[in-house]
């Protein structure tokens, strides 16, 4: 039985965000590194660093939270779309826009893992991994 590393990443971030935990540790894989780089670039997380513990590589993420208590807390919403039992593919013309373009779609393409905007620019389709808004 294989593990769904993408679902584990999404669940870890979602759970930490719900309890307003600032730091999340996830297992390091090439896929998790690519997804975390996208989250960092898009501003959903503040910082990421690679950490080695007990001969295992980990990624330590610092989530972005509001420090001003007068304004409402903003959640990171993540939804897994394609899963091992049901793969969802799309060409670049039919990639859905999350919240009218305010959110992002992460795709696995032949050119690597990228956002929906990058895939549309390069005119590449692929497997829809998750939605983030």
CA distance 123 to 79: 24
SS3 letters for 88-99?
A: CEECHHHCCCHH
Enter the tokens of residue 129: 């991994």
Model-level pTM?
Answer: 0.89
Enter the tokens of residue 123: 């005119």
According to the model, what pLDDT value does residue 35 have? 97
Domain count across the chain: 1
Range of the structural domain that residue 90 is part of: 5-65+74-132
Per-residue pLDDT of the chain (133 residues; tens, 9 = 90+): 578 999 999 999 999 998 889 999 999 999 999 999 999 999 999 999 999 999 999 999 999 876 666 666 668 899 999 999 999 999 999 999 999 989 999 999 999 999 999 999 999 999 999 999 9
CB atoms within 10 A of CB 106: 25
DSSP string, 70-130: TSPP-PPPEEE-SBTTB--EE-GGGPPPGGGGTSEEEEEETTEEEEHHHHHHHT--EEEEE
What's the CATH number where 48 sits?
3.30.1490.10
């Amino acid at each position: 039985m294989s593990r769904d590393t993408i679902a584990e990443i999404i669940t870890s971030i979602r759970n930490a965000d719900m309890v307003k935990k600032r730091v999340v540790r996830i297992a390091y894989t090439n896929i998790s590194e690519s997804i975390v780089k996208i989250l960092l670039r898009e501003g959903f997380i503040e910082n990421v660093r690679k950490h080695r513990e007990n001969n295992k590589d980990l990624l330590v993420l610092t989530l972005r939270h509001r420090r001003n208590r007068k304004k409402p807390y903003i959640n990171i919403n993540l939804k897994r779309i394609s899963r091992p039992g049901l793969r969802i593919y799309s060409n670049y013309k039919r990639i859905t826009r999350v919240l009218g373009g305010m959110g992002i779609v992460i795709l696995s393409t032949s050119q690597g893992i990228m956002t929906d905007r990058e895939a549309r620019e390069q005119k590449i389709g692929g497997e829809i991994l998750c939605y983030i808004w």
